[in-house]
């Protein structure tokens, strides 16, 4: 069983205080994510690739299930408000907001090509 087949790791299930389902159908799933300064999400996955729109951003550290750092944006320029990025599906990870602003994004996950 892959980590993506584990429903308990789905972002909305594993970290509902940070991920909110806005809409879902057979084609897409739209999530709102809000992580305040000092907060860390629970371990979770994102099963599908996605287009993400940044409403606000901050410095973050993404870690895998063993605690290894996968991404550390401290020292990088934060994403500008209303900018967008493409993200691949993401295996088990946490996301810690180590900055001073909210991380607030809307993500459109693409369920099929």
Dmax of the chain from CA atoms? 39
Task: For residue 44, list its beta bridge partners.
Answer: 93
Distance, CA of 96 to CA of 50 (rounded, Å) = 20
At residue 9, φ and ψ (nearest 5 deg) are -95, -5
**Which CATH class, in words, describes the domain spanning 3-110?**
mainly beta
Residue 54's nearest CA partner among 29, 75, 30, 78 is 78
Distance, CA of 5 to CA of 24 (rounded, Å) = 18
Query: What pLDDT digit, counting tens, does each position of 18-38 carry?
Result: 999 999 999 999 999 999 999
Query: What pLDDT digit, counting tens, does each position of 85-96 carry?
Result: 999 999 999 999
pTM of the model: 0.93
């Amino acid at each position: 069983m892959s980590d993506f087949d584990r429903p308990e790791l789905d972002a909305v299930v594993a970290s509902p205080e940070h991920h909110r389902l806005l809409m879902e159908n057979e084609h897409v799933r739209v999530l709102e994510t809000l992580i305040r300064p000092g907060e860390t999400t629970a371990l979770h996955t994102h099963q599908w690739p996605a287009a993400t729109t940044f409403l606000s951003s901050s410095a973050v550290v993404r870690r895998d299930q063993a605690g290894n750092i996968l991404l550390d944006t401290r020292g990088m320029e934060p994403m500008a408000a209303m900018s967008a990025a493409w993200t691949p599906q993401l295996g088990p990870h946490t996301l810690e907001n180590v900055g001073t602003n909210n991380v607030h994004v809307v993500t459109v996950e693409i369920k099929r090509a």
